Structure 1
Amino acid sequence: MIPAARTPPDAPTPSHAGPPLVGPAVATCVLAGCLAALWLPRFPPLWVGLPALLAGAGLLLATPRLRLPAGVLLGLGLAALHAQHALSLQLPPRLEKTTASVTGRIAGLPIHEAGRTRFEFRVDDAPPAPAVLRGRLVRASLRDPALDARMRYRAGQRWRLDLRLRAPRGLRNPGGFDGERSALAARLAAQGHVVAPAGALMLSPASGIDAWRESMSARIGEGVEAPSSRFVRALALGDTRGLDDSDWALLRAVGLTHLVAISGFHVGLVAGFAALLAQALWWCFPGLSRRLPRPLAAALAGVIGAGLYAAVAGFALPTVRTVLMIAAVATMRLGRRRVDMPGALAVAALVMLLLDPLSVLSAGFWLSFMGVAWLLWCLPDPERRPLRAFLSAQAVATLGLLPLSVALFGQASLAGPVANLVAVPWWSLVVVPLALAGTALDSLFAGAGTGLWRLSALCFDLAWPLFERLGHSPLAVRWIPESDAWALLLALLGAFWLLLPRAVPGRALALLLWLPLLWPARQLPGYGEAELQVLDVGQGLAVLVRTARHQMLYDAGPASRDGEYDAGARVVVPALRALGVGRLDRIMLSHADRDHAGGLEAVVEAFPGAALVAPDGAGVGAQRPCVSGDRWQWDGVRFEVLHPTPYFPYLRNESSCVLRIEAAGATALFTGDISEVVETRLLNLRRTDLRADVVLVPHHGSGSSSSASFIAATGARHALVSSGHGNRFGHPRPAVVSRWRAAGAEVHDTARAGSLAVRLAPGGATVESRRVAQPRGWDAESRGRAASEAR
């Protein structure tokens, strides 16, 4: 691609004047400062952030030659202050598991599931709410199949609720969703479960823009019978509640997620239509030009139209970015200045960063701004034919955003460019306008928009089969293992190099810079060594065991009976893909309880062909039983099952597979959920085989396990506990932790440490926690420090 030629400035800028105050260079430096503050292991404290903010702002305005370092200081100080403030808003530890009576309004669109409803709740800034919650955002949920929550809880309603509170907390795993980062960016103060839903009291009916959005979404659902009505709701109103996991998986496979839930391009189309409508009105009534020139009226109409559409979309980040860009262009027109699109993008980025520097923690920020930046830098010559310009833009977007897609989502779609060639013009010029026209018409005359909505759904259905075929073709999504941050920087540099003018030599060498991102070093164990990954799955267990050429999963994580949470789909599968696991040779279930086997179905679907091993009688369809005396060897690593013995009856926890792994002179012992009864049995039958460097603490640290004699027999240096934060069982029990520590073992708990990476190598056994290896300022442990500093 040939970079677009730059229009020279009207007059040369003196060298001593420095870069423009509002321009791409300063915006980039402010962004760099925000990143520096937010990706430190700990956010800069108040006494660092405030001076940096003041110094950056002062130098930016007073010393043009220092605007670039001043921008970095400004971004660092601003992001540090916002981050510290967001942490201080979160529920303090002393209020964990307490119940509070609060009044407030439902914000956004509630999510209704089978027997469960979730919504964000803005607490009133007045009693009876506790002072720490007043005016803050709480994510509430309730379960009560007897109540029609779908009808009761609507967007914009005011309620009095009794909430059992807990601070925002997430799991930390390779390739996993970081809930604590998301909570920080959203300024979420707490999560709450509605206590006694029957006693909740609605104080006022639904009102506001979100109430209107929910009402229009319901009308679309009633008026459009086709299954694709869920996509009409998403494209018209940004309401993606009707899309399930399979829909999102298909959209990711064909690279179309950016077009669903209203993209910035759709906002631009609405703004353009509003501007054309204003120009037509001014043409029909020439007298209006005496009060306001037609070009200025068109610019203002575009801003108003874009703003209204962004409100309809719930002010999603891509729409806000587009509105800011349109507003910047309109301001330049009003000031009769030359319109500069890179400058407009810089203004939009600066405004976004100044208003909310924590937005850089979201994937939407990067995909939105970087996508436009690539297109502006490599925008094809506008004099080219439209088809060639469109194809060139697709190529630029594909190459430029591929590194970000891999880094943010761990995947790349070869079908994406093909699908976008069809979806971008068809959805944006046909499906979306019909859906929007129907929404506008129905807003004025109830029921009048049904025909247009049905036509929009029909047009959507015409192209959807093509995307389904592409999504299940060999061109579909490819999963890429997790890599370091520097690999992303190299890949972005490679993309920049590839998109330089054709005359630049060595462009093919740029592909080498992509290798660390697309084929990262997996650091697999050597021959005779083993690696264990104890995943942070909450109250349950899932452990990946890797040798030089084999992979085994011991347990598959928990899943709730109502389908609300499935660690297999949400944690285990993404983690395996991020670790570069392409297949599983064996899946061993310690027993069939849901906290150990609940995620099995999702794992088997993602990694078919693995041999399933489980205790006889577990009822999980195992190909072979797990029985004492079973031995095998992979790549110089020895495996042996110690329990259950042959003909041992299936007694759930007591029948757990106990597995011994010996590699490079170090030993690990997996114990499942056995109790002291089975521990005593093992002490009598296999005492010498219990000796181990690393032990998975039996039954998550339950008080009925980990007897003193069993702990002494293992002689472990590392005791690993897989538990959920604040679980109702109180695991691990303090007495159990004390016994392991008294025996000389270091206790590692996934609830505090995140996933645990264990190496069995010639130097012995080493344990590394995810939260220690990759510390982040938004980690739960930072909450207490921020709160104390704020006080």
Structure 2
Amino acid sequence: MRAGSLAFAAGIVLVVSVLREPPGAFSVAAVAASGVVWGLLAPRGWRWPAAGLLGCAWALLSACWLLAHELAPSHDGTDACLEGQVVSVPEIESHRARFEFRPDGVLDGELLEPLPRRIRVDWYGATEEPAPGERWQLCLRLRAPDGFLNPEGFDYQRWLFQRRIGATAYVREAEQAERLSGGWRIDSVRTRIADAMAERLGDSRYLGLVQGLGVAVRDRIGDDQWEVLSVTGTAHLLAISGLHIGLVAGLAGTLAGGLWRVVPSLVRRVPALIAGTLAGALAAAGYAALAGFTLPTQRALLMVLVFAGALLLRRPLSPWHSLAVAAAAVLALDPWAPLGAGFWLSFGAVAIILAATTGRPMQRGPLPWLRIQVLVGVGMLPATAVWFGHLPLLSPLANLVAVPWVSVSVVPLILTGVALQPVVPEWSGGLWQGADAALGVLMRVLSALAEFLGAVEVPTPSVGAVALAAVGVALVLAPRAVPGRWLAGPLLALLLLGPGSSGGGPSGRVVVFDTGGGLTALACDGRQAVVYGGGPGGGLDAASVAVEPFLEARGLTLKAWLVPREQAPWDGAVAEARQRWDDAEWRGAGQDTTAEATEWSLGRLTLQETPLGDEEWGLDVEGEAGTVSLRPDLENDTKGLVVGAAGCDEDRQACSAAVELKDGRLLRSDEQGALTLIEDGDAWRVDSELQRRGRVYHQASPAALAPGML
């Protein structure tokens, strides 16, 4: 069963990791039939590959279902009046309300069945606040799932797909919005509890933390608080996670089992162990419900239920066997969980704890606890570097303080207050105030630790560096008799010293970012970079969605920024960028075009500023492979490879950065994702971000997916 569980989970992870195109019904049926036939014909002991094939088939079937419930790109921008239900706790801000909406039917508009299962709705200037469970009639402007696709940037389409959101939208005609009826959902209860906490705690700085631990409402947690939690590696403690659900299950089971033993007649009918296990499972389910059964809490609850089921069935499952079954159960429920960091961090932490404790004599006192915290902190370094780009060196020490403090002084007070709220609201308020005070003490300690050392920012490590660091983790966890354990330190240090993508890459390159409009490009070689353009401004400006993540992940320093034109969308991000990189050299629009042009040297690349007249500037990038000309648009008369904005004169919605190849073909970033021009011998090679890491959840034109196009 252990091999079958691991094979089933591995099959799902394989499909999730490599699937690029929508699978057909024949593919799903063929893989599933292969698994069934193998399971029926293979000898005992060799049936585990059948489980792997069935895992692949399940992931493929899940992809088909999710894609079928996405708004097609051909319907992007469609207006429709829908009737449906609010299925999340709305995020209420000063200028908008954001919530998830599940449509039941189309009242007006042309939408094909099946409808998206979930729509992420923004309601700007909302006159009424929608509540969870309510049914509404809303007139929406629908958008197909879309997002920027940049190297090191946030993958919004991946995020939507993982959360099963099939479309985004905003309310167009607010006067036609109509609340049809109320409704009951667990989210309604969560909202009422969160409102009661806000009423009792008022303007407390830690209100968001109390709400997050109690009912998983985290929109009031400040950015500075998230920063402290991230730097100290304790963010998992102040959100409902596997630790808290396991803690609640353990406390409830222990208490119920102890009370059960007091009544001998009950023990004769049902053993105290069974009663305590059932009580713990029910308590874990109730706490997961308070979190809205979010995907992370579903995973944690399933892990608890697997262990509880083994006890109830009196099956002698080893800890590793239980972990394998839990992983298979989690992936059966949510095959696309591996797209998020939570899956890897939660199962990775449990695996490290099992490796550190299984088969070793139990020890008491603070030293074993400290040892486990250190091992978990060290063992999670590769995953943390990959997912978050920093190494929280304070994590073992911070968790040594925070885990018992939150488990004993915070969570019990919050949950007891939640239980007493319907009966004795005054007592619940006092308990929440006590938890708020305890959190204040903890956050002050964590803030002091963060200021003392903080986290080490690291460039994104290469696959090889991560693999070698994982070997280092295995050596740390290995018994003392294993030879070569001293190599663990140097192997883990590769996360700091050996990132394969540091400096932008092994050769000179020009990256043309996907920013939704206009032009933003970056040239780099070595440790420095020069940016040309500015792209759109606003909340998702080019600096925040493209330039800053790339510079940080690759360990680059911004040397200069050349603004090609004082006009949107060529300078939209410039004002914000000047504040972030005030020590960089700022050139281009606004300066005298008759002034002497500036030249920069970046390793093997030479960058020449080129005045174009009418307060416009170009940039020529010369390398061993020839010259790449960066221009405000593609109408300039240039030879060779040209990078510029295309389509901006006809329709600003169609304005996009593009690369014009020598043979006249045009590659657009809004179709291909970011485009990277790399020196490859005596020629420039053009790579598409969509070709490099595009997956089944990335919307694209058929031409963009055609193999060998570039």
Say if 1:238 and 1:262, in contact at 8 Å, map to a contact too.
yes
Indicate yes or no: 2:3 matched with 1:84: no
Q: Output aligned runs, 1:332-351, within 5 Å.
A: 332-338=310-316, 340-351=318-329
1:603: Cα distance to partner?
4.7
Number of positions where the alignment pairs a residue of Structure 1 with one of Structure 2:
698
Residue 216 of structure 1: aligned partner: 193
1:298: Cα distance to partner?
0.5
TM-score (norm 2): 0.90
Q: Output aligned runs, 1:247-396, within 5 Å.
A: 247-338=225-316, 340-379=318-357, 381=360, 383-396=362-375
Indicate which of 149, 154, 162 corresponds to 1:172.
149
1:379: Cα distance to partner?
1.8
TM-score (norm 1): 0.81
CA distance in 1, matches of 2:210, 2:653: 45
1:455-502 CA-partner distances (Å, limit 9, x unpaired): 111111112123223334443241322523x54333323311221111
1:607-660 CA-partner distances (Å, limit 9, x unpaired): 56322334337xxxxxxx776532223145433333366xxxxxxxx5343222
CA distance in 2, matches of 1:416, 1:422: 10
Residue 771 of structure 1: aligned partner: 690
CA distance in 2, matches of 1:51, 1:614: 59
**Gaps in structure 2 of 5+ consecutive residues:** 706-710
1:686-730 CA-partner distances (Å, limit 9, x unpaired): xxxx634222224x43237xxxxxxxxxxxxxxxxxxxxxx8633
Q: Match of 2:611, as an amino acid?
A: H
Residue 708 of structure 2: aligned partner: none
Residue 120 of structure 2: aligned partner: 139
Residue 159 of structure 1: aligned partner: 136
1:72-95 CA-partner distances (Å, limit 9, x unpaired): 212211111211221222112332
C-alpha distance 608-370 of structure 1, shift in aligned 2 (>3 A):
farther
Indicate yes or no: 2:697 matched with 1:729: no
Say if 1:471 and 1:477, in contact at 8 Å, map to a contact too.
no
Say if 2:511 and 2:522, in contact at 8 Å, map to a contact too.
yes
C-alpha distance 636-274 of structure 1, shift in aligned 2 (>3 A):
closer
Q: Match of 1:403, as an amino acid?
A: P
Q: Match of 2:228, as an amino acid?
A: L
C-alpha distance 266-549 of structure 1, shift in aligned 2 (>3 A):
closer
Residue 722 of structure 1: aligned partner: none
1:43: Cα distance to partner?
5.2
CA distance in 2, matches of 1:52, 1:784: 28
Residue 9 of structure 1: aligned partner: none
Greater RCO, 1 or 2 (C-alpha within 8 Å, sep 6+): 1
Say if 1:554 and 1:587, in contact at 8 Å, map to a contact too.
yes
Segment of structure 1 superposing worse, 133-142 or 154-163: 133-142
Say if 2:139 and 2:177, in contact at 8 Å, map to a contact too.
yes
Say if 1:92 and 1:784, in contact at 8 Å, map to a contact too.
no
Residue 712 of structure 1: aligned partner: none
Residue 640 of structure 2: aligned partner: 693
- Any idea what SS the aligned residue of 1:503 has? coil
Residue 381 of structure 2: aligned partner: 402
Say if 1:141 and 1:193, in contact at 8 Å, map to a contact too.
yes
Residue 586 of structure 1: aligned partner: 560
C-alpha distance 377-442 of structure 1, shift in aligned 2 (>3 A):
same
Residue 113 of structure 1: aligned partner: 93
1:84-135 CA-partner distances (Å, limit 9, x unpaired): 2212221123322111111111111112223122211111168668452547
Q: Match of 2:653, as an amino acid?
A: F
CA distance in 1, matches of 2:406, 2:702: 44
Say if 2:86 and 2:131, in contact at 8 Å, map to a contact too.
yes
CA distance in 1, matches of 2:183, 2:691: 45
1:429-475 CA-partner distances (Å, limit 9, x unpaired): 21222222222221333443111111111111112123223334443
Q: Output aligned runs, 1:677-716, within 5 Å.
A: 691-698=638-645, 700-703=646-649
1:536: Cα distance to partner?
1.4
C-alpha distance 660-438 of structure 1, shift in aligned 2 (>3 A):
same
Indicate which of 450, 456, 459 corresponds to 2:438.
459
Q: Match of 2:600, as an amino acid?
A: Q
CA distance in 1, matches of 2:416, 2:521: 52
Indicate which of 598, 618, 627 corresponds to 1:631.
598
Q: Output aligned runs, 1:405-420, within 5 Å.
A: 405-420=384-399
1:405: Cα distance to partner?
1.4
Residue 687 of structure 1: aligned partner: none
Q: Output aligned runs, 1:614-653, within 5 Å.
A: 614-616=588-590, 628-634=595-601, 635=603, 637-643=605-611
Say if 1:631 and 1:638, in contact at 8 Å, map to a contact too.
no
Q: Match of 1:630, as an amino acid?
A: A
Residue 160 of structure 2: aligned partner: 183
- Any idea what SS the aligned residue of 1:77 has? helix
Say if 2:82 and 2:106, in contact at 8 Å, map to a contact too.
no
Say if 1:411 and 1:478, in contact at 8 Å, map to a contact too.
yes
Residue 746 of structure 1: aligned partner: 665
Indicate which of 13, 22, 32 corresponds to 1:35.
13
CA distance in 2, matches of 1:428, 1:435: 11
Q: Match of 1:316, as an amino acid?
A: T
Say if 1:382 and 1:389, in contact at 8 Å, map to a contact too.
no
Q: Match of 1:300, as an amino acid?
A: L
C-alpha distance 336-30 of structure 1, shift in aligned 2 (>3 A):
closer
Segment of structure 1 superposing worse, 62-71 or 89-98: 62-71
Indicate yes or no: 2:520 matched with 1:573: no
Say if 2:517 and 2:653, in contact at 8 Å, map to a contact too.
no
